[in-house]
Amino acid sequence: MAVARTELPVPAVTLRAMTEADVDAVVALEHDSYPFPWSEGIFRDCLRVGYVCRVVELDHELIGYGVMSHGAGEAHILNLCVRAAMRERGIGRTLLRQLLDSAVDAGMDEAFLEVRPSNVAAIRLYQSLGFEPVGVRRGYYQAVGGREDATVLRLDLRSLSR
């Protein structure tokens, strides 16, 4: 018997550009979310080189972030994270859509990302927005006991309605 997925209420959140002052909170959320997190230096470098870095706040508390690079017609979603207790409420979708809109505004034609095949919820989100698998990067992710492949997903940004 299939179990119906319960949709949680979508809270009113604020999306804004990430600043240096956000890095400590972003790193804390990253460490709470992943067994092999990005370092503080990586986030600071992303800001320094001008990647599109966004945060999501609820009641002035940071609950998510996204990082995207773009150039030569391609956007790359590098990191997208929402606090575990706030997932499956549309926050990740809102954040990802904002990043994709930014890529369209910058003239990008397509977007790519890598995702762990074990991250079923993320894959469901990406595919619901039109991302399609285009390849595999063998041993891309560090994992307990070795490495895990990444599924490469692609989205034709010209297909997005604005």
pLDDT tens figures, 19-28: 999 999 999 9
Query: Which positions ≥6 away from 102 have C-beta within 8 Å?
Result: 52, 68
Alpha helix (H) ranges present in 34-141?
40-48, 91-105, 120-128
For the chain, the maximum distance between any two Cα atoms, rounded to a whole number of angstroms, is 51
Distance, in Å, from the CA atom of 104 to the CA atom of 89, rounded to the nearest integer, reads 24
pLDDT tens by residue, 36-76: 999 999 999 999 999 999 999 999 999 999 999 999 999 99
Q: What is the CA radius of gyration of the chain?
A: 16
Instruction: Kindly report the pTM of this predicted structure.
Output: 0.91
> Where are the chain's structural domains?
14-159
Q: Which fold has domain 14-159?
A: Aminopeptidase (3.40.630)
Please say whether the beta carbons of 64 and 81 come within 8 A.
yes
Distances (CA, A) of 67 to 3, 17, 49: 33, 10, 12
